[in-house]
Structures are given as C-alpha cells and as structure tokens.
C-alpha cells in the first residue's frame, strides 16, 4: 500500500520576527492544507528550511506536525543528513514521534560514491521500521542517485519503498522504473513535471506549489489517476507560469514571499537566505494574480 497518492505538500516552516519557529502559524497552515485536499504533509524538507534548523528544533517541528495532523493524512518527515549517524538519529526520533514515513535526501557536500550511498541508505533503512522515500535532488546536494543504486536499495532494503525524483531527467526516471520493474512508489519532486512523471508510473508529487494552491495540485494529480489525462495535462500547463515564479530564486524564498502576500503568515527566512529582488517579486506578484491567488 502506497504511503500516499496525490499531492503532498513540502510545507514551509514559519518563523517569527525573532527567528523562532512560529507554531501558531504552522498549525494554521497544516489545517488549511488538510481542509483543501492535500494528501500528505512533508515536514522538515528543503522547503521547510531544515538545513538551518537545530537538531532540537528539527525534532520539535516533526513532533508538533504529527500531533497537529493527528492521523488526518500521512506525515512524511524529512530526516536526511550528510552525516549517516545524524540521519539515523533523526529518523529514529521521527519514528518514535509517530511519523508515517521518512524522506531521506542524499548526503550533501561529502560527495559519496554510489557504494557509499548504498551503505548510507542501508544503515538508515535498517535503523527504523517505517517506510522510506529516497530524495534525489542533485541541483541541491551535488550528488545523483543513479538508477542502478535505486534498484539495489529497493531490492535489498525492505522499507525503502519510494523515491522523490527531482533530478529533472526524464530519461533517468524512466530507467529507474524499468530497473525496479515499476515496484517503487514514484513521486515527482518538480511541480512542472508532475504529469510527465506520472506517465512513467508516478503516483503523485511532493509539491512546493501546494503551499499556495493545495486543492489545485491535488485535483491535477487525481485527474490523471482517474484517467482524465487531457484534463491533468491542461492543469499542468496552466500552472507553469506560477511554478516558474516560485522557483525564480532559491526555494523557499519565493514561496514564503507568496504566502506572506496571500496572508498565510510564513514569516521571514533564515539566513543565509535573503529577501527577493524587486524584479523577481514583481514577477511573483504577476504570476499569483494571473493564477487568481491575489
């Protein structure tokens, strides 16, 4: 049984002006997402600024999210690290706190070999019992998970069951599905490639756009799953301008600005992320207006 099907939100972590996590705003955002059809909450991922959360904050944010969601939808906790021991610790803590699954990004900066990746993911996988989604995003980590590596892990580590593919390489994704004989839960990690990836066997998206348009992303995925390929394609093409604006600067800079413009209270960014340039902010405002969000 899949961890989830549909559109899971890669949810932001809202901060107060003093830099603390704004749990009141976070709770409101979680509720808004669920009320608008989001199929899973992915907490402490890239969009959640996990790189600048302390380990204590990381665990506390996961704890709060699990409790607030209260089994209404699955909670997938981002617990990856460039240190295997840290990834094991965060993964075990998330499991204890009641997360339904884990999202484990490739180690960054270290530049592990593919053999090193197999060791890393095998150790993390064997340290917990809940399902794991691999997260391949070379543009952020500098390290690709090769299709052969994915196939090895899915075959040999029972609880590694899915992959969030954000490489942007459709040929690579096709090879992953071929080598795994389609026996991996495939999620798009790019909001502009949801329908193409679903055509290769994908079952959903882990979405940044869902922070501002949760119902739209849910509906687009389910149109495809229910056989309305043309309807899903039309929705995919309609959202392209918004996707471009939300990624015109490093994620989550634009999406936090968008949420603040919409009155959703995402708060400030943590350094070293900085506010948007005026030109890109105007581009974002235009895209939001054109999509009916402002």
Q: Is residue 33 part of a domain?
A: yes
Give the model's pLDDT for residue 84: 98
Q: Which tens digit of pLDDT belongs to each residue from 42-91?
A: 999 999 999 999 999 999 999 999 999 999 999 999 999 999 999 999 99
- The residue from 63, 121, 164, 216 that is catalytic is 164
Q: Is residue 132 part of a domain?
A: yes
The CATH number of whichever domain residue 75 belongs to comes to 3.20.20.70
Q: What percent of the chain has pLDDT over 70?
A: 100
Please say if the pLDDT value at position 1 is more than 80: no
Q: Contact, 202 vs 236, CB < 8 A?
A: no
* Residue range of the domain that includes 87: 6-227
Q: Is residue 264 part of a domain?
A: no
- The residue from 135, 187, 222, 224 that is catalytic is 135
The per-residue pLDDT of the chain, averaged, comes to 97
Q: Is residue 243 part of a domain?
A: no
Q: Which tens digit of pLDDT belongs to each residue from 109-152?
A: 999 999 999 999 999 999 999 999 999 999 899 999 999 999 99
DSSP 25-94: HHHHHHHHHHHTT--EEEESSTTTTGGGS-HHHHHHHHHHHHHHHTTSS-EEEE---SSHHHHHHHHHHH
pTM: predicted TM-score of the whole model, two decimal places: 0.97
Q: Which tens digit of pLDDT belongs to each residue from 23-36?
A: 999 999 999 999 99
Q: Is residue 238 part of a domain?
A: no
Is 187 catalytic? The answer is no
How far is residue 17's CA from residue 267's CA, in Å, rounded to a whole number?
7
Q: Contact, 49 vs 12, CB < 8 A?
A: yes
Q: How many domains does the chain have?
A: 1
Q: Is residue 62 part of a domain?
A: yes
Is 135 catalytic? The answer is yes
* Residues comprising the chain, all counted: 294
Q: Is residue 37 part of a domain?
A: yes
Q: Is residue 13 part of a domain?
A: yes
Give the model's pLDDT for residue 96: 98
Q: For residues 228, 177, 11 and 84, what is the CA-based torsion angle, rounded to 10 degrees?
A: 170
């Amino acid at each position: 049984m899949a961890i989830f099907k549909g559109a899971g939100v890669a949810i932001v972590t809202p901060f107060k002006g003093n830099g603390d996590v704004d749990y009141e705003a976070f709770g409101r955002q979680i509720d808004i997402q669920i009320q608008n059809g989001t199929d899973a909450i992915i907490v402490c991922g890239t969009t959640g600024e996990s790189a600048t959360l302390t380990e204590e904050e990381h665990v506390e944010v996961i704890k709060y999210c699990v409790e607030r969601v209260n089994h209404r939808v699955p909670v997938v906790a981002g617990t990856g690290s460039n240190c295997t021991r840290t990834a094991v610790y965060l993964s075990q803590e998330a499991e204890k706190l009641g997360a339904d699954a884990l999202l484990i990004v490739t180690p960054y900066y270290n530049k592990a070999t593919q053999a090193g990746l197999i060791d890393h993911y095998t150790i993390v996988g064997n340290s917990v019992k809940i399902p794991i989604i691999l997260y391949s995003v070379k543009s952020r980590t500098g390290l690709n998970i090769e299709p052969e590596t994915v196939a090895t892990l899915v075959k040999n580590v029972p609880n590694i069951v899915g992959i969030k593919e954000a490489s942007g390489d459709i040929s690579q994704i096709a090879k992953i599905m071929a080598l795994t004989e389609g026996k991996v839960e495939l999620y798009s990690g790019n909001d502009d490639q949801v329908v193409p990836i679903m055509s290769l066997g994908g079952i959903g998206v882990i979405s940044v756009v869902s922070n501002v348009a949760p119902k739209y992303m849910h509906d687009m995925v389910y149109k495809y799953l229910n056989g309305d390929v043309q309807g899903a394609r039309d929705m995919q093409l309609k959202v392209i301008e918004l996707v471009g604006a939300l990624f015109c600067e490093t994620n989550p800079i634009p999406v936090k600005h968008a949420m603040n413009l919409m009155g959703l209270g995402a708060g400030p960014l943590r350094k070293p992320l900085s506010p948007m340039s005026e030109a890109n902010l105007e581009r974002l405002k235009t895209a939001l207006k054109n999509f009916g969000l402002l």
